[in-house]
Chain A
Amino acid sequence: MSSIIEIQDLTKRYGNLLALDHLTLQVEEGAVVGFIGPNGAGKTTTMRILTTLLQPTSGQAWVGGYEVTREPDRVRQIIGYMPDFFGVYDGMMVWEYLDFFAACYGIAPQVRQGMIGDLLDLVDLGHKRDSFVDELSRGMKQRLCLARTLTHDPQILILDEPASGLDPRARIEMRELLRELKQMGKTIFFSSHILSEVADICTSIAILEAGRLVAYGDMAEMKKQLRAHRLIEVRVLGELAPLQAFLLGVSEVATVLAAPDVDLPPDTLRFDFSGDDVALSQLLSRMVAAQIPVVSYSEVTGDLEDVFLHATQGIVS
């Protein structure tokens, strides 16, 4: 697969503030990349540079092979951008809103009529066609804005916090919509604060902190990379003491965690294990051979929150 977005040494300064610090990143065609980081990490700045709305201080960025500062019109042709905060026009109907933006992309009037209906159906706003945009709910406005980004059928969608400020139902609807767009083959580059949402639909994640990329890669790989040890949870019948004593003698075990130090039931403990799957299986056999009454033995898979907390240090939030 080829890179559809390429960022090379991108730096942005606002006076003394360094918003982006030599950011280098590649996004492959068809990928869904979750761009996460604390507030002020530089996510919006990156997106504004990619969408030709901001000049970088140094470095370069290419979207679809076009350099963003040299060929902005080519870039605009292939991207659909949804900012984190956006307004709507007063006294304008939903279909007029889409018609206006489609006209701004140079789409012929005869094509626009059919296309508006399709887009409204896609974002489930067909019944609101003749409503005024300023009377729509926040979730509907977000969906309408997403429909707007699709008027010229762009290859790449750059969405800045598409689910911010939405209630749970609207958030689920937005997530479903993004999933549908992913199936349509769009490359989606979006920022979010809601990590569970990112984990749900992303193929890869990029974590930004204080303008620097602190982690980037495939979701599963990222989890592995950022956790050197595997966390294993064991439940036994009766006392934990024999198991604790046994684990202290195992070289691959780093730390053993049990109540009351951590929030676990009295018959369960967790330990950090540095071995591979074979070593993990052999450890279970040794436990059984040592007559430890094991009831359950499983690996605790870290979620995106763990990855995020491991990668960031809370510098800017």
Chain B
Amino acid sequence: MAEVVEEQPRRRNRFLSGLLQNPVTVKELRSRMRGRRAFVVLTVYLTLMGLFITILYGLYSRAALQTYGPDPAQAGKAVYGAVLGVQVMLVVLLGPAFTAAAISGEKERQTYDLLRTTLLPARALVTGKLISALSYVFLLILAALPLQSIAFLLGGVSVVELVVSVLLVLVSAVAFALLGLFFSSLMRSTLGAVVVTFAGSLFLTIGMPAIVLVLLPFTSALFSSGPVQPWVQIALSYGGLSLASTNLPATIILSEVILIEEDALFFWSTTLGGRSVVLFSPWWVYTILYILLSLLLFWLTVRRVSRVPNR
């Protein structure tokens, strides 16, 4: 028994040290954090974020002085929402921007062949590139935490909301970074990889809601033309929630609304067409879907990198 207790931390340490000693991670972080660029980006980011939150806080404070103005909790929610919005943009745009150039950049720089003739496994190459890109994105997210914590001083944000939003941001960061890495392994030029990656990221975040907006008039027409069958209502509810579960902004907003309005974290019951149905909150479906997507993208990227080309 004692052996088992000792073995577990050792294994965990080995896993962690393996991640941190990955030569690609070490090289990328060393290059990225060397010089002023990384620190200038961090400083500019925090300055802009601070200014944005100050303006937002100022507007809410002024409004709160008026009769029937917003209470501090609303200001807290606004601050939290604003920081979360910036984090979403970071994981959707910045993470893939780093990873889209990760492998295609090696090809363009003519260092890819040098790497491929070493004993570095394709899995370690992909993991190293992923961790180095994510670590900078996570650094930006963590650096903004003190600003985000102003929301807790004002109130209006629960721990559950915080945990759910952090989980969604983390899962999305990994998935979108892997999307960039996959296209980077697929394409020869960085420009091509960046264009395709951004097209994919924007489709997943903006394209899906756009499609819903286009389809919305048809469903409205369906409801206004007369009584709708209960099964159609149930199917539309499940379909809508499922579609929302594929999109990060929709998932965050809907999960928040369901948490506040229905006080439900996972499931809630409602009546549709006279029938009682159990509906789900999108955040956990989104989490499962994006973890599966991440695993698939990781596998495809490793396969692509380990493949010996024909040309």
Contacts and interface: CB of A to CB of B under 8 A. Distances in A.
**Chain B binds chain A:** yes
B109 interface: yes
Given A91-B31, A103-B26, A53 B119 contact: no
B13 interface: no
Contacts of A14: 311
30 contacts: A14-B311, A51-B113, A52-B308, A53-B113, A53-B309, A54-B308, A55-B309, A55-B310, A73-B119, A76-B117, A76-B119, A79-B117, A81-B113, A83-B110, A86-B113, A86-B114, A87-B109, A87-B110, A88-B109, A89-B27, A89-B31, A92-B27, A96-B27, A96-B30, A100-B27, A101-B118, A103-B21, A104-B23, A105-B119, A148-B114
B308 A69 contact: yes
Q: Taking chain B's interface residues, is the majority helix, strand, or loop, or is none over half, making it mixed?
A: loop
B260 interface: no
A145 B114 CA distance: 9
B269 interface: no
Nearest to B125: A104
A73 B309 CA distance: 16
Given A55-B309, A92-B31, A100-B27, 18 more contacts: A51-B117, A53-B308, A54-B308, A55-B308, A76-B118, A83-B110, A85-B110, A89-B31, A91-B34, A101-B114, A101-B118, A103-B23, A104-B118, A105-B119, A105-B120, A109-B21, A145-B114, A148-B114
Contacts of A225: none
Interface of A: 14, 48, 51-55, 69, 72-73, 76-77, 79, 81, 83, 85-92, 96, 100-101, 103-106, 109, 145, 148, 152
**Interface bin, chain B:** 20 to 34
Contacts of A52: 116-117, 308
A86 B308 contact: no
Interface in B278-311: 308-311
Contact of B111 (A73, A86, A91, A109): A86
Nearest to A72: B308
B212 interface: no
Nearest to B117: A81
Contacts of A83: 110, 113-114
A135 B118 CA distance: 24
A109 B30 CA distance: 16
B115 interface: yes
A299 B281 CA distance: 94
Contacts of A92: 27, 30-31
A139 to B, nearest CB: 18
A92 B110 CA distance: 16
B119 A106 contact: yes
Nearest to A77: B119
Nearest to B115: A104
Interface in B4-29: 21, 23, 26-27
B35 interface: yes
Nearest to A79: B117
Contacts of B115: 104
Interface in B113-145: 113-120
Interface in B138-191: none
